[in-house]
Amino acid sequence: MNKFITDKNQFIATATDFFIELFEPSFNSGCGNIEVRTFSPVTQAFFASEPEAAEAVFNLCNQGIDVYFGINPRIGNGGKKENIQHVSSLHAEIDYGEVGHKKCDT
């Protein structure tokens, strides 16, 4: 069962605070924008303020779309590593299990 967020003001306030923790120093230094992505459908957008990004995420989530964001600010409206000029945080991911991790013999 999908539970959608219905209190828009609370969501935007919470998400804005979260984005401020990650991105405020970068915004103050002109180091880039927040990247927001979806994969189904494929979309990519960049935001120069935390509240704008939070509202976009709210709207996407309430359409039932999975939303992702870059943990570091991006310049040039690109999502590649060369678009990262300032590191605001580090991310570690641990994958486990066998599904999706088998190497094909070529």
Residue 32 lies in a domain: yes
* Pairwise CA distance, residues 88 & 34, whole Å: 11
Q: What pTM does this model have? A: 0.79
One-letter amino acid of 63: Q
**Residue 37 carries which DSSP code?**
E
Asked whether 83 and 49 are in contact (CB, 8 A), the reply is no
Q: How many domains does the chain have?
A: 1
Domain span holding position 73? 8-82
Give the distance between the most distant pair of CA atoms in the chain.
52
Quote the radius of gyration of the chain (alpha carbons, Å): 16
Residue 67 lies in a domain: yes
Express each pLDDT in 87-105 by its tens digit: 888 888 777 777 666 666 6
Residue 43 lies in a domain: yes
Residue 73 lies in a domain: yes
Residue 42 lies in a domain: yes
Cα within 13 Å of Cα(24), Cβ side? 7
Residue 30 lies in a domain: yes
Residue 63 lies in a domain: yes
Residue 31 lies in a domain: yes
Express each pLDDT in 27-57 by its tens digit: 888 889 999 999 999 999 999 999 999 999 9
Helical pair 50-61 and 8-28, crossing angle rounded to 10 deg = 140
